[in-house]
Structures are given as structure tokens and as C-alpha cells.
Structure 1
Amino acid sequence: MNRLSLKWLSLVIVSTSVFLAVIDIFIVNVALPSIRQGVQGTESDMQLIIALYLLGYAAFLITGGRLGDHYGKKRVFIVSMLVFTFSSLLCGIAQTAWQLNTARFIQGISAAFMIPQGISYIHVLFPEHKERIKALGVYGSIAGSASVIGQFLGGILPDIHWIVSGWRLLFLINLPLGLAAALLAARYLTDTVQQREGRFDISGVALLTIALFGLVYPLIRGRESGWPLWSILALAGAVGALFLFRYDQQRKLSARKNPLIDMQLFSYKDFNIALCAVLFYFMVQDSYFLINAIFMQTGLGYSSSETGVLFVFQGVGYVVASLLSIPLVKRYGKRVLQGGVLIMMVSLVMHLVFFSTGSIPKAALPVILFFYGTGCGSVLPSLLTMALKSIPVRFAGAASGTFSTFQQTAIALGIGVSGGIFFSLLGHVPSLAAYMGAYQVATGVNIGFLALVSIFLYILPEGQQTTTVTAIH
């Protein structure tokens, strides 16, 4: 195999990491009602299926990148891919919600270790700028395709019962792809130079994990349990852990050690404003799927397949708009993102009108979902670029890692907050009217979050972009 072919084959191999990581976010969204029935889980168990995966990813993402530098990207990629595959097997054979959620947390951690290796390999394999841009485009397209494929399979597979219950196939389909990726990586990937200088910030990772877990877990479990004392104490402890984490990181920075997060980033006003926009945008991102999947299937009686096919229209809208928006952002700046947020808000209002009044033909629902997807696709790919536009190049890597950690945490918070509001309004024996009322309130909350995104984008200075990076969800 010649050198050029080997480079592009290596790109395909490392891109399996983002494909599997993204597909395992979206594939469970539509299938939650089937999964809940299969493991006899509760409402909060279903929220945790999404949230624990994201928390594991968020807490270990930065460490995952540094581990690749320390032990070699090839070794870390293969080991984390095998752990991801094994945890997928554990998800597929889980008998209880506790077993499933434990395996999902391990899945998230392993994704945090394999994703950074894939991105780093692109810079190693394609040192020439034009080739690297093309490779990043392929990588981003694979990530976008994974979101659409995940929603489609998440709807179709639960209705297929072949050897095992359909919902188990959602996780078991990872096995052949994960094993193939690990074997091909062992055969074809070139190892990278190991950089042994510096120590891992183990205490920083522990503090961040405790803080994130203590923030999200009681939001989900506490609501279902009637807010017992432990949930209030856990939330208070999480806030304390976040302050302690900040102090710990500043102290290590002053002592010229290697903190998990470089606190100098937060001295840039634009970065802070952009992170506020990121917080509220991603609180809507996956809670939208959770709320709509439960409402459409359990409330309105749509089948899993019908819901999955409908969500594909949203995914297609996202992919189309994301391809068109990136060049538009270079010309019009943040106005493209503001327009995308407005499209999302209008589309959510259309959701409410469609489901509440019944005055809109059913054939219009795919159009409404496609419209919502175009709004997402106009915002998400360029949020990271907006956050990094005033960050010096030397901080770009640290800022990107911090952004991704913040992003995944915000999604988990959205599952806890918007999803929690939705489930709390359903009651113990929900009627169609209860589902409708809960849906209206939770969707209204998400519209409010998007309004806050608009405000933060409005006050974000235009400025000159110094770093261009595309966010990949």
C-alpha cells in the first residue's frame, strides 16, 4: 500500500472513534421507551442513560488527550476502542437499569480517551494545511452522518426482534465495528512519539468528576425521590467541589504545574460570553430529543420506527445547514448563528402549535423537524470558532478541550433540568392531557434557553477570528 493510500485509510480508521461516540449519543434518544421497558427502569434511569455517558466523556476528555501524548496515540486509541466495545457488550446484555447505566458511564469514559487520539492523528497524518482541511471535512462529515444514522437506527432497531430484544441491538452493533477498528489500527496506524514530560492532574480529574456527578445525578434522582436531604447536600457539595476545583487549578498554574484546565482562558471576555451561549444552547440540544421521543411514543402512540424516521428529517436538515453555514459564517459572522437560533425558536413554537391544536396536517411534521435541524446546523458547527476567535493560538488546544468539556456537561444538565421538568409534570399515572401539558412547559423552557443564547450572541463582540476550528458533536 502506497503512502497516500495509507494516510486516507488511517483517517477512516481513526474516524471510527467519532462515528461510534456520536452514534451512541443519538441512537438511544429515540429508543428510550423501549429500553425502559426492557430493563424495567424508571424515568430517572432513562435520563441517566444519556447523562452518565456524557459525564464520563466530559470529565476525562482533557486527560484522554494528554494520555495519548504520554503513552502514544496508537496504544491509547486501541485500548480505549476495545474498552468502548466491551462496555457496549455490557450495555447489550444488561439485565437491570443499574447495570446498563454503569456500562454507559464506562462507555463515556472510553469515548473521552479515543476521540482526542483521532483528532490528533489528523494533524500527524496531514501536516500540509490544504490536505488537513480536507481531512477535517471528512472527519466532520462522518460525525454528522453518525447523528443521522443513530436517530434512524434508534427508531428501527427496537422494532426488530432477532435472537435478542431489539433495543439490545442498539449497543451490540458496535461490536463488529469496534473490533475491526482496533485490529486495523494495530495493523496500519503509525505510532507517535511519546512525550513523557509533565504529570497528570489526577486530583483535578477527581475533583471535576465529583463536581459534575454531584451536580447532575441529584438533579435527576432527587426529583424522582421527592428531593430528599441527600440530594440537597449533594448539590451543595457539587458547588463546593467546583469552587475547590477552581482554586486547585489556579494554584497549580501559579506553581507552574500542569493543571487540567488552564485558568488563563477565563481572562478572555469573549471566551466567557461564548461559554454562556454554549451552556444554554447545549442544554436544549439533547433534551429536545428526550422530550420529543418520550412525548411522541409514550404520549401520542407513535411507534419507535415512525419516530426514528421523523427524526432523520431533523438530522438531514442539520447536515445540509452545517455544510452551508461554515462559509456563510466567514462572511457574515455571528449573524448566521443568531439566525439559526431564531429558526430553532420559531420551529419549537411550530412544534407546540402542531401537537397542541391539530390544525396543521400531519405531513407538515417532517418539514417542521427539517426546519429545526437547519437551525441547529447553522449554530453548532461554528460555536467553537466563535468561542476561540480572541484566544491566542498557543491556547487553542486547551480552549478546545475546555469547550468540549463544558459542552458535554451542559447537555447532561439539560437532560436533568428540561427533562426533569417534563417528567415532574407528568405525575405517576399520566394522561394524554398531562403529557401535553408537560411537553408545552418543557418546550417553553427550551425556548427560553434559546432566547438566552440569542442574548449572549448579541453581546459577543464580532472581532477578528484568530483561530478557526469546527465543533463536532
Structure 2
Amino acid sequence: MTSPHNSPVTEQTWTPRLWGTLIVLCTALFLDALDVSMVGVALPSIGADLGLSTSSLQWIVSGYILGYGGLLLLGGRAADLLGRRRVFLIALGVFAGASLLGGVVESGELLIATRFIKGLSAAFTAPAGLSIITTTFPEGSMRNRALALYTTCGATGYSMGLVFSGLLTEFSWRWTMLLPAPIALIGVIAGLKLIPKSPRPEGRRHYDLPGAVTVTAAMLTLVFTVVEAPEAGWASARTLVGFALAAVLIAVFVAVELRAKAPLIRLAVLRSSSQVQVNVGAATFMGAYIGFQFIVTLYLQQLLGWSALETALAFLPAGALVALSSTKVGTVIDKFGTSRMIVLGFAFHVIGYALFLQVDLSPTYAAVILPSMLLLGAGFAVAFPSLNIQATNGVKDDEQGMVAGMLNTSVQVGGAVFLAIVTAVVTAGGTEAGRTPQEVLDSYKPGLVTVTGIAALGLVVTALGLRAARRRPGRSVLVASSADLNTTADEKTAAEEKVSVRD
């Protein structure tokens, strides 16, 4: 059988250039994740300096999410059609410029605009970077190791962003905006030398502009509506109209894709149970964690009176565990398979969230908070790389950007949707003004239960996928093998010799 992949690397060897390429890609993902978390601690200082209201401050965070989540599908397909290297480097350069501008602006509106631009650029670097890895490193243990290191850098960036923001804000909030600029610029220069050029698509390239417009509008509308729903009200006319408009745009997008000559998303992907499970898993996995971090930040800072830096350090063990395990995770995934690791990661998270329900007004960090953080770190270490590997295994080279965009969209939109749900649950009892500390803590508990339930939903979905994979050989319409959720690298190689699926 002829492999559907025409990877530039045909031998299982790590060259200095390969390492350099991976470092550049990891740096970009590290910066994307860093930027998401680093701005949070700086918000009070930004508000005081620029005279922004609480609702305006929300858009410094939401503007990034809106650009990131709204344009990921377009970013992924653009990488396939325009060249992964070109899209990645241009977007990383835009990220550097927006970071520099964000650190010197004197207007809140301009700062929000730079945040949107940074989110937009991340919507192109993330799927392009992931697809560069999956088309540069051959499927199997080599790619698994590369993806494990890559996703670990993202998780580490998210954790370290909390620590950096606590330290940098002591000097000025502007440093939290400026820090990514020189790092991204160095990444662009190094990427020009190290990242292999993408082969041009054969034949005439067709661009699905109607599909791009409708899906981008749908994602922007959905994310905007979800972000605004807690403040506007879930049953308000604005929220209901927003959800209805997003649904209509999605329906129009599906109709466009069914007729398009070169669709932005091949809808046959959605008939792949493996792809559906991995995207639902990614949405619930990240959504539960972001909701948890939101509640814990309020609990530690507003209820217990911890400083921003102390709060960041409380989360640090999770990030440290992810970083320390990065070099070994690929080997573990090779041995046990992606599906088992995803299920195990969800199980760690469900237990960690459930343990945190025992917190009170005078918790002992080592006995109460630390065990949850370590379980969350262990869950990230094994599940997040496995989700990325499972999503991209067996996918043809010219569709790697597409599935990478889908996966990242699931992460971002899932995070926005579930965070909004958790926020609504926590604030259902009203504001904290006039309530006793115990009453405030009691209002956090339903949110923690909701977080645990979201993670449990992801556990059930992925466990059902594992069970189904054991019962029958998985045949995905998307892939060129019978790669199911439970196959190890060796089993997958054998399966690929027997089956070739083509649409």
C-alpha cells in the first residue's frame, strides 16, 4: 500500500534541523498559551492605568478569545492551501507586532484591538504549527514524541503565564504585553532558516470563500454570544438572537460545504467517530479546566486574600509536572495507545476536581489543594498530547491543517462555552457584596460540581470510544488506515497494511 503521507522525513532520526524546527513551533504555541493566561493577573493594573470599567476589562481577555476561536477553522484551511510555513511565519510576525503595539498604547480601545489581532494571528499559527509537525514527522513514535513535546510546551506556557504575570505586573502591566514580542520575532527569524518549505498543492487551487465567510461569521457570533451571555442574561433577547443567528450561519455553512468543489471542511470528517470523540473530548477537557481555574482564582484571591503571585505559585505544581514529564510521555503513549491515555487523563481530572470540593475557609495547601493540582498536571501530561495525536493520525497531508483547525476550535470554543456556564452557575446567587465568607464559598461549590460534571462527561464520551474500539476494528472515513482509538503505533502499522479508506 502507498502511504497517504509524503513526509519530508522518511527515517526515524532526529537531526539538528528537526530539533530546531520543533523548538520554533513549540515557542509559538508557548507564546499563544502564555498570552491567554498572562493578562489575567494584570487586569486590575490595566484598568487603573487606562481608566477602564470592569466590562471593558473583560474584553481584553474576550477579544483574544474571539479572534482565536472565531478564525481557527479558516486558519487551518489557509495553512493547507497557502502553505503551512508561509501562513505560520506571517501570522507569527503579526503576533510580534501586535504584542509590541499592545505594550505602548494609551487607549483601552486600542489595547482591546491589539488583543483581537493577537488572537487572530494565533488562530493561524496554532493549526499551521500542528500541521507542520504532522507533515514533517512520520506517523508513529517519532511524531508522538514531537507532539508530546509540542503540546507540553502549550500547557507549560499556560501555567508559566500566571507566574510571569505576577512577577511582571510588579513593575508594570505593559511588560506582560511586551514580553512575547522579541521572542516571537526571534521565532520568525529562526523559522525562516529551519522550517521546511511546504510543497505546493498539485493542480489548480480552489478557495471556498463562501464557506470561509459563513463559518468565520458563525464562530465569531457564537463566541461573542457566549462571552456576553453571563452579563446580558442567558434568556435575554440579545443572547437568544445571537444563538439563533449562529445556528442559521452554521446551517448555511453546511449547505455551502455540501456543494463546494473544494470545501473548507470535508463534512465526511464528521462521520468519523474517532474525530467526533476527540473533538468533544478536547472541548470538555479544556472547558472544565478553564472553569476550574476561574473559580480557584476567585477562591484564593478574593476569599482567602492570597496575592496574585501566591495564586500563580499555587497552580505551578501542575505546570511543573507537565514540563517534567514531557520527554517521557511520547514513549508511554506509544506503549498504551492514545485512547487509554485520554481516558486516564480525564479520570485524573475528575478525581482532582472532586477532591477540591472539600476546601474550606482555612485549607491546608499540602493536604487539600496540592493533591488536586498534581492530579490536574498528570491529566494534562497524558491526555492533551494524546488528543492531538489521535486527531491527526492517519489524516492525509493536505487535510492536516483542517483537522488541526477543528481541534483547536474545539479547545477554544469549548473553553469559552463551558467557562460561561460555570460563571453563570457561580453568579446565580448574586454578587458577593453583603454575604459572609461562608456564603461566598457555598456559591463556589455548585461551580466546582459543574466543572466536575463537565470532566465526567468527557470521561464518558472517551471511555465509550475506547469500548467501541475494542469491539470492532475502527474504520475512519477520514484516514488511510483502520486506526481506531485504541491502536498503538505497532498495531496501527499492521492495520495500515490491510486497509485503505478513500472518499
TM-score range, shorter chain: 0.7 to 0.9
After superposition, what is the alpha-carbon deviation per residue over 1:145-186, rounded to whole angstroms, capped at 9, x for unaligned?
32332232123222x22xxxx322111101211222233444
Distance change (3 Å), C-alpha of 1:438 and 1:48: farther
**1:260 aligned partner:** 264
Q: CA RMSD in A?
A: 3.5
Counterpart residue number, 2:121: 110
Match for 1:250 among 258, 261, 266? 258
Task: Check whether the contact 1:268–1:391 (CA below 8 A) recurs between aligned residues.
Answer: no
Corresponding residue of 1:205 = 212
Please show how residues 73-152 of structure 1 align to structure 2 within 5 Å. 73-95=84-106, 97-122=108-133, 135-152=146-163
Please tell me whether residue 17 in structure 1 is matched to residue 28 in structure 2.
yes
2:410 to 406, 409, 413: 406
Deviation at 1:301, TM superposition (A): 1.4
The alpha carbon displacement at 1:115 in A equals 3.0
**SS state at 1:258 partner:** coil
Q: Is the 8 A contact 1:27 1:151 kept in 2?
A: yes
The CA distance in 2 between the partners of 1:30 and 1:317, in whole Å, is 22
Shift in CA distance, 184/282, structure 1 to aligned 2, threshold 3 Å: closer
In the TM superposition, what is the alpha-carbon distance from 1:319 to its structure 2 partner?
A: 3.6
CA distance in 1, matches of 2:163, 2:23: 22
Q: How far did 1:74 drift?
A: 4.3
Give 3-state SS (helix, strand or coil) of 1:353's partner.
Answer: coil
Q: Distance in 2 between matches of 1:453 and 1:98?
A: 37
Q: Which residue, out of 226, 236, 247, partners 2:244?
A: 236
Identify unmatched segments of 5+ residues in structure 2.
Answer: 1-13, 474-481, 490-503
Q: How far apart, CA to CA, are the structure 2 residues paired with 1:321 and 1:74?
A: 29
Say how many residue pairs are matched.
Answer: 457
Q: Which aligned pairs between 1:153-164 and structure 2 lie closer than 5 A?
A: 153-158=164-169, 160-161=170-171
- Distance in 1 (CA, whole Å) between partners of 2:302 and 2:361 is 19
Displacement of 1:264 after TM fit? Answer: 0.3
Contact 1:317 1:372 in 2 (8 A): no
CA distance in 1, matches of 2:420, 2:323: 27
Q: 2:230 aligns with which of 200, 223, 228?
A: 223
Match of 2:357, SS state, is helix
| Residues in 2 aligned to 1:129 and 1:84: alpha-carbon distance in whole angstroms | 32
CA distance 1:46–1:342, change in 2 (3 Å): farther
Report the Cα offset of residue 289 of structure 1: 1.9
Q: What is the deviation of 1:446?
A: 0.7
Identity among equivalent positions (%) equals 24
| Distance in 2 separating the partners of 1:199 and 1:103 | 31
Do the aligned partners of 1:30 and 1:293 also contact (CA within 8 Å) in 2?
no
**CA positional deviation for 1:110:** 0.6
Offset at 1:35? Answer: 4.5
Aligned-pair CA distance for 1:316? 1.8
Deviation (angstroms), 1:409? 1.2
Q: Give the residue type in structure 2 aligned to 1:54.
A: I
Give distance in 2, aligned partners of 1:312 and 1:280.
22
Confirm or deny: 8 A CA contact 2:145 2:331 kept in the other structure: no
- Structure having the larger proportion of residues in helix: 1
TM-score (norm 2): 0.78
CA shift digits 1:274-316 (9 cap, x unpaired): 4333332222132222222233223321101101111111212
Q: How does 1:20-35 map to 2 (within 5 A)?
A: 20-35=31-46
Q: How much has 1:81 moved relative to structure 2?
A: 1.7
Q: For residue 173 of structure 2, what is the aligned residue in structure 1?
A: 167
Which one-letter code corresponds to 1:83 in the other structure?
V
Paired residue for 2:11?
A: none
AA in 1 matched with 2:366: A
AA matched with 2:183: L
What is aligned with 1:56?
Answer: 67
Q: More deviation in 403-412 or 370-379?
A: 370-379
Report the 3-state secondary structure (helix = DSSP H, G, I; strand = E; otherwise coil) of the residue aligned with 2:207.
coil
Indicate if the aligned counterparts of 2:74 and 2:216 stay in contact, CA closer than 8 A.
no
- The structure-2 alpha-carbon separation of the partners of 1:240 and 1:395, relative to structure 1 and needing over 3 Å to count, comes to same
Give, as a single letter, the amino acid of the residue that structure 1 aligns with 2:237: L
Partner of 1:362: 365
Please point out which of 428, 442, 447 is paired with 1:437: 442
Contact 1:68 1:117 in 2 (8 A): yes
Structure 2 Cα separation of the partners of residues 416 and 56 of structure 1:
17
Paired amino acid for 1:443: L
* 1:133/1:456 CA distance change after superposition, 3 Å: closer
Give me the TM-score of the superposition, normalised by structure 1: 0.83
Confirm or deny: 8 A CA contact 1:265 1:395 kept in the other structure. no
Give the drift of 1:410. Answer: 0.7
Amino acid at match of 1:172: L
Pair 81,274 (structure 1): closer, same or farther in 2 beyond 3 Å = closer
Q: Which amino acid aligns with 2:175?
A: L
Change (3 A) 1:215 1:382: same
Q: Deviations over 1:34-93 (max 9, x none)?
A: 555555555555554444423422333343344345444444333212211122233334
**CA positional deviation for 1:390:** 8.6
Pick which of 460-469 and 305-314 moved more: 460-469
Offset at residue 414 of structure 1 (A): 2.0
Going from structure 1 to structure 2, the CA distance change for 1:323 and 1:124 (only over 3 Å counts) comes to: closer
- Give the 3 Å change call, closer, same or farther, for CA 97–459 of structure 1 in structure 2: farther
> Secondary structure of 1:462's partner?
helix
